[in-house]
Amino acid sequence: LLGKLKDPSLVVAKAYVGGEWVAKSDSGKSFDVTNPSTGDVIASLPDLGRAETARAIDFAYTAQKAWAAKTGKERAAILRKIYDLMVANADDLATILTTEMGKPFAEAKGEILYGASYVEWFGEEAKRVYGDTIPGHQPDKRIIVIRQPVGVVGAITPWNFPNAMLARKFAPALAAGCAMVSKPAKETPLSVVALAVIAERAGLPAGIFNVILSKTSSDIGKEFTENEKVRKLTFTGSTEVGRILMKQGADQIMKLGLELGGNAPFIVFDDADIDAAVEGAMISKYRNNGQTCVCANRLYVQSGVYDQFAEKLAKKVAAMKVGDGFEEGVTAGPLIDANALAKVEEHIGDAVEKGAKIALGGKRDARGGLFFQPTVLTGVTRDMKVAREETFGPVAPLFRFETEAEVIEMANNTEFGLASYFYARDMSKIFRVAEALEYGMVGINTGLISTEVAPFGGIKQSGQGREGSKYGIDDYVEMKYLCLSIS
Ligand code: ADP
């Protein structure tokens, strides 16, 4: 890995606590990070526990006061420097990301710039955390509303977007005047540590951003939810773990920002532009090898265009190139681990057993390891696992439907409510369907909806809170109302 970087000092096998780099854990234990494409060990990192997490929280608690006392413009200046350094080092950050996570280098670079865009956006927003004045309810009363940082924030992030999922939390938290203790996924911690290196270089004061490295994250989650100095926990990951954290935080009424699982429907109506729908499905389904929480998971295609769509999609998918993320032209890297591979195989096996046909792929790739062939399934029905569970892999199950009412019912028949997509041309139908879909986000005639200027987030069991946009800062501030009596 180091040989591939312009600046090898971005790779640090240490945690970052109170502005100090921590090479050894209290327990002396460590854990390895591997490259999912080759299986090679990239780094051995200290495996921290509760005591070190509590220490980081103490540092953050102390440092946060001075950080919050700075003007928005002062905080903005540091966030701007972090943004500039992320962009200047985008190639190296993408190289680190591809090495530990496996996605194609071009996608990794896209992720770095996407993550950086949140740092830019919220740096700008730091100056605009406006309050309000309200006409008094009595002649002597003056009412003012101010918004203050919540304080110390714990952040737990997943491996599928190691940089961007953290940047989406780090940027609004720091902009608002909060301090953060982060715990990246054990599979992909180096991308977050590299961000700490950059933040330090940009002049972020010690203690404002901390990185706890840990193999068994449940202890860290407990410290975050039980330590009274932590005022907010922001988590991106599975609904299952989100539920655990919510239960753990109940005793201290922990404020939670949750970006959880999705089970995105992708609907193609008869009147859609089929070529555009195929393009959208490629991006929405196969980006990151199907390992995103907004990936199309269930593709519903209306009867009149089903065969045409299936054929065109399979043709496009057949042109994908599976391989190591650094190889030229590769569009599908390895899956993250053996469990992910097993789940993809299980979902395909279940569907085929219940009557689905494999239009393309369906097997492990000839390269072996964690590589799987991009797959298209036809004749999929609602009794199959793919109809209910998130596959998180490169499998497009195509369901056939007849009417608008039927497809809305099927699309909403899930406990999840993150992203949804549909393709249609009729204007009335576009509004009807957009309003009827029970999702936090709806892509209409597009398969790509993520941007820092819009509120990303889910309803139902896909989470709470929003990341990005002018609303994103709300997750990191408390409202306080001042009631003043004048004589
Ligand atoms: P994914 O399927 O993306 O791995 P997880 O919810 O398992 O989703 O993991 C997301 C993040 O949550 C990772 O950083 C992981 O280490 C962490 N995590 C997993 N289990 C727990 C837990 N019990 N408490 C706190 N964090 C956890």
Please identify, by atom number, the ligand 1 atom nearest to the C-alpha of residue 221: 25
Please identify, by atom number, the ligand 1 atom nearest to the C-alpha of residue 157: 14
- In order, the DSSP letters of 25-90 are -TT--EEEEE-TTT--EEEEEE---HHHHHHHHHHHHHHHHHHHHS-HHHHHHHHHHHHHHHHHTH
> How does pLDDT run across 197-210, given as a tens digit for each residue?
999 999 999 999 99
Residue 476 in this model has a pLDDT that exceeds 90: yes
Does the C-beta of 244 come closer than 6 Å to ligand 1? yes
Name the closest-CA residue to atom 4, ligand 1.
158
Does the C-beta of 42 come closer than 6 Å to ligand 1? no
Q: Which residues contact 129 (CB under 8 A, 6 or more apart)?
A: 72, 147, 175, 176, 473, 477
**Nearest C-alpha neighbor of 147 from the set 482, 457, 468, 466:** 482
Does the C-beta of 241 come closer than 6 Å to ligand 1? yes
DSSP state of 108: H
> How does pLDDT run across 395-420, given as a tens digit for each residue?
999 999 999 999 999 999 999 999 99
Mean pLDDT (the chain) is 97
For 276, the token pair is 């555009």
DSSP3 helix / strand / coil % (the chain, rounded to 5)? 40, 25, 35
Residue 287 in this model has a pLDDT that exceeds 90: yes
Name the closest-CA residue to atom 18, ligand 1.
217
* Residue 430 near residue 420 (C-beta atoms within 8 A): no
Residue 1 in this model has a pLDDT that exceeds 90: no
For 185, the token pair is 């996924």
Around Cβ 1, how many Cβ atoms within 10 Å?
Answer: 17
Helix axis angle for 274-286 and 303-318, nearest 10°, is 50
Q: Is the ipTM of this complex over 0.90?
A: yes
Q: 321-346 burial string, b = 16+ CB within 10 Å, else e? A: ebbbbeeeebbbbbbbeeebbebbbe
When pLDDT is averaged across residues 442-455 and rounded to a whole number, the result is 98
* Of 100, 111, 125, 259, catalytic: 259
Gap from CA of 81 to ligand 1 centroid (Å): 30
> Is 259 an active-site residue?
yes
Gap from CA of 159 to ligand 1 centroid (Å): 9
Alpha-carbon distance 374 to 372, whole Å?
Answer: 6
Alpha-carbon distance 144 to 130, whole Å?
Answer: 11
Site to substitute for ligand 1 among 217, 260, 291, most atoms within 8 A of C-beta: 217
Q: What percent of the chain has pLDDT over 90?
A: 100
| Residue 467 amino acid letter | E
Does the C-beta of 186 come closer than 6 Å to ligand 1? yes
Please identify, by atom number, the ligand 1 atom nearest to the C-alpha of residue 156: 14
* Residue 330 near residue 324 (C-beta atoms within 8 A): yes
For 265, the token pair is 């429907």
Alpha-carbon distance 465 to 71, whole Å?
Answer: 25
Please identify, by atom number, the ligand 1 atom nearest to the C-alpha of residue 238: 6
Alpha-carbon distance 456 to 53, whole Å?
Answer: 29
| Residue 172 amino acid letter | P
